[in-house]
Structure 1
Amino acid sequence: MCPDLRGYGKSSKPGDYSKRAMARDFVNLMQGLGHEEFAVVGHDRGAAAAIRLALDHPDRVTHLAVLDGLPIGAHLARADARFAQAWYHWFFLARQELAAAMINENPGLWYGGRYHDTPLAMGVENWADFQRAIHDPETVVAMCGDYRAGLEVDRHHDDEDLAAGRRITCPVLALWSAKDDLGELYGDLAAIWAEWADDVRVRSLDCGHHMAEEAPVELVRELRELF
């Protein structure tokens, strides 16, 4: 199963974009399909939801693969001037109403000019879906709501878990893109993951941010080794 996060794509937009709510969505979906336990793979914002799913529902998640992501609390605890400059969009998009109004005036301006947002990086079909989504005002509002939740309730949930010593207990594969900036910003990603998970393997792939499109063979090989 490869569901859209709530608010994204053609999914419903109920208003609560916390990763805890998204985790419940996934549990309900899989239970509805007859799966009480399952492995989870999440990329970028989906990675944050997947991490929360593993923390909130350890009895459901057998294996976790995180692609270009860390717990939101880990990101923000290390936010410095470099982070603010490189990932300024986290803070802009969290101003949900203002950010959505500005983006909806000219979606192409906000999303244009970056290689990883082109058909070459994403694939033609994925890029077409992406274009439809960013030109849907309700989807843009929902996307900004996701980032707002990240800086507010999601960070609070992560901080609570870290303080209480709650950890991810299933095997974790953390993959990061060598041509993206996660490793450059944080250095030793394995040390960060050691704060959150008992059994984790950290590796980089020689690709840009869209791993599934840019390095599908390598990604599948890593996932098969995990599962």
Structure 2
Amino acid sequence: MFEEFTLERVELPDATLRVRHGGSGPPVLLLHGHPRTHTTWYRVAPLLAEHHTVVCPDLRGYGQSSKPADTDDHGGMAKRALADDMVALMAHLGHRRFAVVGHDRGSYVAFRLAMDHPEQVSHLAFLGLVPIGEALERANERFARLWWHWFFFGQPKKPERAILADPDAWYGNSPEKRVQMGAENYADYYAAVHDPATVHAMLEDYRAGLGIDREHDAADREAGRSLRCPTLVLWPLFDDEEELYADILSIWRPWAADLRGHGLRSGHHLAEEVPEELAAALLGFLNGG
């Protein structure tokens, strides 16, 4: 994986992150979701690296990056804290201004990064999902039926016990999944979901989402803040997003003046399932197409 990319551990003020980076040109930061690690991008990153410097970290709490101490407000896994890590990481690598692409929970980090540090984000791309506050305001019966895990993960202790009792059953590990993900990517993910410290941190991510992250979104909306950079939203047509939200772009429009987007014929993990189509869409956006 990631031929000609550099793999290293970077010590930051509040976290130590495992990160791969490679390529040349304008920088783009790729942020993975739950329960993946940065290796989820291994099919997309080399395609982007033909035109861009590509940076792929394990987010704080995920994969082989450091795990924060627990706090009552779950602030160690707040998207603001993870976004601050990304600013520090990119500065360490010499990038003051950069594009950001987020998938799943990484989309929420990307959103918070662009809201809190608008001068440093040139372009912003979300793969699925809507802002956390918007999602929770629309948490009707359909949301509870399809994404009930948000609320289960938000409970104390019980999710860890359920998942760690049988991670393979919980995350659906199978020969088919290994083929779809690719052997090395699957091995990295498999190690993560079997590590108690990583599982706990990933759940703290969801606990932060139901509390402090929602509060940050609400404060932005109350203050009338919005995204300042060009914004692309891509969503999988074979997942739940359209069933949940119907017109996804209409939810994003109050947050982003320069907005575009469309669906891709994929399941939830676009970077693994349709890497060429995803890379083409991202390059068209990043390069002004």
Shorter-chain TM-score: what band?
over 0.9
Which structure is higher in strand share?
A: 2
> 2-side partners of 1:106 and 1:211: how far apart?
26
Match of 1:86 in 2: 146
CA RMSD, 1 decimal: 1.5
> Does 2:98 correspond to 1:38?
yes
Match of 1:62 in 2: 122
Deviations 1:117-154 (A, max 9, x none): 92233222222211111110000000100000000100
> Greater relative contact order: 1 or 2 (C-alpha under 8 angstroms, separation 6 or more)?
1
Letter in 1 for 2:85: D
TM-score (ref. length: structure 1): 0.96
Match of 1:184 in 2: 243
TM-score (ref. length: structure 2): 0.76
Match of 1:207 in 2: 266
The number of residue pairs the alignment matches comes to: 226
Identical-residue share of aligned pairs (%): 53
SS at match of 2:119: coil
> 2-side partners of 1:182 and 1:96: how far apart?
27
> 2-side partners of 1:83 and 1:176: how far apart?
17
> 2-side partners of 1:14 and 1:96: how far apart?
17
> 2-side partners of 1:216 and 1:94: how far apart?
32
Aligned with residue 73 of structure 1, among 113, 133, 147: 133
Letter in 2 for 1:192: I
SS at match of 1:12: coil
Which structure is higher in helix share?
A: 1
Inter-CA distance 75–114: structure 2 relative to 1 (3 Å threshold)? farther
Deviations 1:69-100 (A, max 9, x none): 21111111111001001001111111142211
> 1-side partners of 2:129 and 2:137: how far apart?
14
Match of 1:20 in 2: 80
SS at match of 1:209: coil
> 2-side partners of 1:121 and 1:196: how far apart?
34
Partners of 1:20 and 1:53 within 8 A in 2: yes
The unaligned stretches of length 5 or more in structure 2 are 1-54, 70-75
> Does 2:59 correspond to 1:5?
yes
The unaligned stretches of length 5 or more in structure 1 are none
> Does 2:161 correspond to 1:101?
yes
